[in-house]
Structure 1
Amino acid sequence: MATGMVEKKVDDENAAPSIICSLPVKEIPGRCNHSLVSRIKTRLEFYYKQREEEFFRSRIAAHGSTVFRINMPPGPFMAANSRVVALLDAKSFRVLLDVSKVDKKNVLTGTFVPPVALTGGHRMCAYLDPSEPDHARVKQLVFNLVAARKNFFIPVFRSNFAVLFEAMDAQVASASGKSDFNKLSDAAVFDYFCEACFGVRPSATALGATGPTRATKWLFPQIAPLMTLGLPTLLEELFLHTFPLPSCLFSSDYKALYRYFESAASSTLDDAEKLGLNRKEACHHILFVAIFNAFGGFKAALPGIFGLVAEAGPSLHSQLAEEIRSAVAAEGGEVTLAAVERMELTRSVVYEALRLDPPVKYQYGKAKADLIIESHDAAYQVKKGEMLLGYQPCATKDPKVFGPDADEFVADRFVGSAGRKLLEYVVWSNGPETEEPTVGNKQCAGKDLVVLVGRLLLVEFFLRYDTFTADVGTVLLGKQVNVTSLSKATVQS
């Protein structure tokens, strides 16, 4: 029920800054039913009957609001408190990006916090609030690493993904007639990121070809409560959504990964000590950033980009090929950063893919004080300590920002001055694309590198091929792309 217009001023030093709100303040619709039956019903709808996006959209329709209260899985069994306020439009979602208003301590995966036994007994930077001292030190370490290795990201990408495309060619030409892009991409990304950052290709060490598999196994228990595998419901509820999977099942894989980083990242660990971090603890942080953030992120993002481009068809392929080849030719045939920056359509395609299918779909935060949160149509009051949830695909497909085609892939959406203005609402990195990560916020430290790698994937592909076809499906972390045909470019760069 609306309570009229409000001017809310707070003098308590622990409360929110003064807020002037011109929208009607309404009671947040929905309620968090405490009964076990109600919570189980919500779980079944979230995991099995509706799945994520339909689950949230059906409740937007039912409440007539993009802001509402809900019991959020994986509670009630794994989480002490599964009650959240959902923020599902572009305007209200922005509160979750403002660390002056929300606490980010232990909320990366929402109502479930993985055991620290999976990360060497330490809380990782992703689970730290910026107010915690180690947050700034670890994030600065990542900034230093990216800056020190900036000249390696393009040439090392080219060498590693050349191997991917050679394998893809052979697989498509084989009796099976198709190539599993995801599998090839996992191997290429794992070697690429580690070699570019640390100068040592993992497949050339004791890890051999096991790196991507070990990394995927270690990632699994940290995100298992949020996923389904297609097993019988009773088994999934018992083994995935009720209790944490035993950390000991994954310790051998983690130790093998740790040994690689302990050796390959020695200069980065030297820098960590200069920043005041314990060397061994810093190694756990570097491993987490490389595997959870980078490998896990690219594992979702690159098939998402490639799959959307596959579905777009030959017309877009022709436009991308022309733009990419012209820009590279202008640089004397070299793939340089200057050449990549000229590719406006290519950049737009990557932004559009990250808008539609962000690699991290959820954002959480706890209100640091009593807040007034505005959607497009109304304002709502939340109390200090309440958990706030944003499901990013709803916020980044907001029709009041992106128009009636908000759910569609529009390759040139971000081309031109009008398109660039929309980048403020592309928030896949836990911050607007128009802003930059700092040690004092939670925006992805490798934001620009992710966008660069997405563009390099298209650059390397369309320097070799004119067009392609693929079967695109859905898997746990996003898209599954099986390439079924390739048309080689007449002249390759």
Structure 2
Amino acid sequence: MSSNIEKNSSIEELLPFKEIPGGYGLPFFGAISDRHDFHYRQGPDEFFRARMQQHNSTVFRANAPPGPFNARNARVVVLLDAVSFPILFDTSKVEKRDVFTGTFMPSTSFTGGYRVCSYLDPSEPKHALIKGFLLSLLGRLHTELIPTFHAAISQLFADVEADLDAEGESAFNSVSDKFSFDLLFRLFAGKSSYGAGVGDGGSSLDTWLLLQLAPLVTLGLKFVPNFIEDLVLHTFPLPYFLAKSGYEKIHRAFQEGAGELLDEAEKKGLSRDEASHNLMFVMGFNSYGGTKILFPALLKYVGSGGEDLHRCLAVEIRGAVEEEGGVTLAALERMSLVKSVVWETMRIEPPVQYQYGKAKEDLKISSHVATYVVKKGEMIFGYQPFATRDPLIFVNPDEFVPERFMDEGEQLIKYVYWSNGMETDNPTADNKQCPAKDMVVLLGRMMLVEIFLRYDTFNVEVGKLLLGSSVTIKSMIKFI
């Protein structure tokens, strides 16, 4: 065994060493076959579950998504348990250069010609400069988040109620996306997206996101044969020009509104243009992309939780707001059930499902039952929905338990991995944890607060979308 393999804890040393099971099949054809299993014959969960059962291991070799363009790039070591998964956060052991979206990287045309911070490894000099700027900015915006959220959300509820009055139901995803884009534009650019002339920007960002993430998704169109969709989505990179006009319109308005932020970036040594595209990525990909999944997921699980859960949330929220004299950070910190519900939503339906990293050296990686050696240069892939539903960590892991992270359960929040790090960790200029981690969690809490300050209960129907869940609101009973 290589001498540069690092020593692990004494417990890990007691685990037996095993060869990593699994393989990649025939050159080229093995990757294509696994890709069809993943997207069409099995679907993601069954793809990983079947191989985990076949190998009787949560660590194995496979061709992982998306693996387009070059079949060899699909070869990964898969991690499916909560113990092995955190190796992907340790940038002293894994390289995160150009692996943000996996075994491929979209063209830099989508980001103004720049490799934005998400694609940089912390060893690259520009990473600390850009992420330090982003963290300082997000820290400043934290104090503006509550009043900005409150100012923007009234339109969301007005849209939902208008739909309920006219149609008897409201498609929550569309009104939520509209609200999210306006909220984030207000935060980053200092004005309403409607006042800036880009009120419909969410749909433009949807196109921009889809073109970058196409290799990871399945459209599920019944009138399109699978092999045709696979050829179009998963074989060749999709071109930026399809999103160009929408992205550039938002970018121009963003640059005009975010002038003070860009001034600050220049003082730190970043060009205005590079800083603006990094800010656009944080706003459009990290934040808008995250809330696009998080807000409907919250409505899905809380709405399906029933009136008893709604009553408990309403009592906690209204009591804390009354005692603190308004919706404040202090009031939000008092809401232990609200916090638990948001963490449980992110555990059971994480906004980011995949994590990747390339071994910088020969590594020992331990699961619950064994230790494996991953060779330098091998790609490591983690499927987050399995790691955060690890049955050896969580009781009833596939069940939504609103109070899971309350009281003694709070010690389990370190196993909530949605942000490319443990929930108990903090993003820094030297790691790859999402710089907007705290902001996204706070947005989830505030969504619940605003709902239960206005309504006593609501009913939903749920379905599945390309990214996340679809939610249709069937009724909302107002608090009087």
- Normalising by the smaller structure, the TM-score range is over 0.9
User: Counterpart amino acid of 1:34?
Assistant: L
Q: Distance in 1 between matches of 2:237 and 2:8?
A: 41
Q: Distance in 2 between matches of 1:252 and 1:361?
A: 29
TM-score by length of 1: 0.94
**1:341 paired residue among 325, 333, 336:** 333
Q: Distance in 1 between matches of 2:5 and 2:433?
A: 22
The equivalent residue for 1:419 is 409
State whether structure 2 residue 251 is matched by structure 1 residue 258. Answer: yes
State whether structure 2 residue 236 is matched by structure 1 residue 214. Answer: no
- Could you tell me how far 1:171 is from its partner in structure 2? 1.0
The equivalent residue for 1:3 is none
Decide whether aligned partners of structure 1 residues 240 and 78 sit closer, same or farther in structure 2, where only a CA change above 3 A counts: farther
Decide whether aligned partners of structure 1 residues 133 and 458 sit closer, same or farther in structure 2, where only a CA change above 3 A counts: same
Q: Distance in 2 between matches of 1:91 and 1:382?
A: 15
**1:312 paired residue among 305, 309, 316:** 305
Please say if residues 304 and 478 of structure 1, whose CA atoms lie closer than 8 Å, have aligned partners that are also in contact.
yes
Q: Distance in 2 between matches of 1:88 and 1:316?
A: 31
Q: Does the residue aligned with 1:203 lie in a helix, a strand or coil? A: coil
Q: Distance in 1 between matches of 2:149 and 2:70?
A: 40
**Relative to structure 2, which stretch is displaced further, 33-42 or 374-383?**
33-42
**2:186 paired residue among 184, 195, 199:** 195
**2:220 paired residue among 230, 250, 275:** 230
User: Counterpart amino acid of 1:392?
Assistant: Q
**2:457 paired residue among 463, 467, 470:** 467
Q: Does the residue aligned with 1:312 lie in a helix, a strand or coil? A: coil
User: Counterpart amino acid of 1:483?
Assistant: I
User: Counterpart amino acid of 1:414?
Assistant: F
The equivalent residue for 2:447 is 457
User: Counterpart amino acid of 2:150?
Assistant: R
**2:132 paired residue among 129, 132, 140:** 140
1:96-148 deviations in Å (ceiling 9; x for gaps): 01111100001111112101111111111111101111111111111121222
- Could you tell me how far 1:198 is from its partner in structure 2? 2.9
- Could you tell me how far 1:39 is from its partner in structure 2? 2.5
Q: Which runs of 5+ in 2 are unaligned?
A: none
Q: Does the residue aligned with 1:399 lie in a helix, a strand or coil? A: coil
Please say if residues 102 and 367 of structure 1, whose CA atoms lie closer than 8 Å, have aligned partners that are also in contact.
yes
The equivalent residue for 1:388 is 380
Q: Distance in 1 between matches of 2:279 and 2:447?
A: 24
**1:288 paired residue among 281, 287, 294:** 281
The equivalent residue for 2:471 is 481
Please say if residues 203 and 211 of structure 1, whose CA atoms lie closer than 8 Å, have aligned partners that are also in contact.
no
Q: 1:18-417 counterparts in 2 under 5 A?
A: 18-19=7-8, 21-78=13-70, 80-174=72-166, 176-207=167-198, 209-231=199-221, 232=224, 233-332=226-325, 334-403=326-395, 405-416=396-407
- Could you tell me how far 1:91 is from its partner in structure 2? 0.3
Q: Does the residue aligned with 1:429 lie in a helix, a strand or coil? A: coil
Decide whether aligned partners of structure 1 residues 291 and 19 sit closer, same or farther in structure 2, where only a CA change above 3 A counts: same
User: Counterpart amino acid of 1:240?
Assistant: L
Decide whether aligned partners of structure 1 residues 146 and 73 sit closer, same or farther in structure 2, where only a CA change above 3 A counts: closer
**Relative to structure 2, which stretch is displaced further, 165-174 or 451-460?**
165-174
- Could you tell me how far 1:392 is from its partner in structure 2? 0.3
Q: Does the residue aligned with 2:381 lie in a helix, a strand or coil? A: strand
Q: Distance in 1 between matches of 2:98 and 2:422?
A: 22
Please say if residues 172 and 296 of structure 2, whose CA atoms lie closer than 8 Å, have aligned partners that are also in contact.
yes
User: Counterpart amino acid of 1:423?
Assistant: I
Please say if residues 103 and 129 of structure 1, whose CA atoms lie closer than 8 Å, have aligned partners that are also in contact.
yes
Q: Distance in 1 between matches of 2:387 and 2:133?
A: 31
Q: Distance in 2 between matches of 1:362 and 1:420?
A: 24
Q: Does the residue aligned with 1:188 lie in a helix, a strand or coil? A: helix
- Could you tell me how far 1:77 is from its partner in structure 2? 3.4
User: Counterpart amino acid of 1:130?
Assistant: P
Q: Distance in 2 between matches of 1:304 and 1:119?
A: 28
Tell me the number of residue pairs that the alignment of Structure 1 and Structure 2 aligns.
474
**Relative to structure 2, which stretch is displaced further, 227-236 or 371-380?**
227-236
Please say if residues 352 and 410 of structure 1, whose CA atoms lie closer than 8 Å, have aligned partners that are also in contact.
yes
Please say if residues 9 and 18 of structure 1, whose CA atoms lie closer than 8 Å, have aligned partners that are also in contact.
no
Decide whether aligned partners of structure 1 residues 354 and 304 sit closer, same or farther in structure 2, where only a CA change above 3 A counts: same
Q: Distance in 2 between matches of 1:193 and 1:81?
A: 35
1:452-471 deviations in Å (ceiling 9; x for gaps): 11010000000111101011
Q: Does the residue aligned with 1:26 lie in a helix, a strand or coil? A: coil
- Could you tell me how far 1:43 is from its partner in structure 2? 1.4
Q: Which runs of 5+ in 1 are unaligned?
A: 1-7
- Could you tell me how far 1:79 is from its partner in structure 2? 5.3
Please say if residues 31 and 70 of structure 1, whose CA atoms lie closer than 8 Å, have aligned partners that are also in contact.
yes
Q: Distance in 2 between matches of 1:308 and 1:162?
A: 22
TM-score by length of 2: 0.96
**Relative to structure 2, which stretch is displaced further, 107-116 or 344-353?**
107-116
User: Counterpart amino acid of 2:419?
Assistant: S
Q: Does the residue aligned with 2:200 lie in a helix, a strand or coil? A: helix
Please say if residues 192 and 201 of structure 1, whose CA atoms lie closer than 8 Å, have aligned partners that are also in contact.
yes
Output the aligned Cα RMSD. 1.3
Please say if residues 181 and 202 of structure 2, whose CA atoms lie closer than 8 Å, have aligned partners that are also in contact.
yes
1:279-308 deviations in Å (ceiling 9; x for gaps): 111111111111011111111111111111
- Could you tell me how far 1:324 is from its partner in structure 2? 0.4
Q: Distance in 1 between matches of 2:17 and 2:150?
A: 54
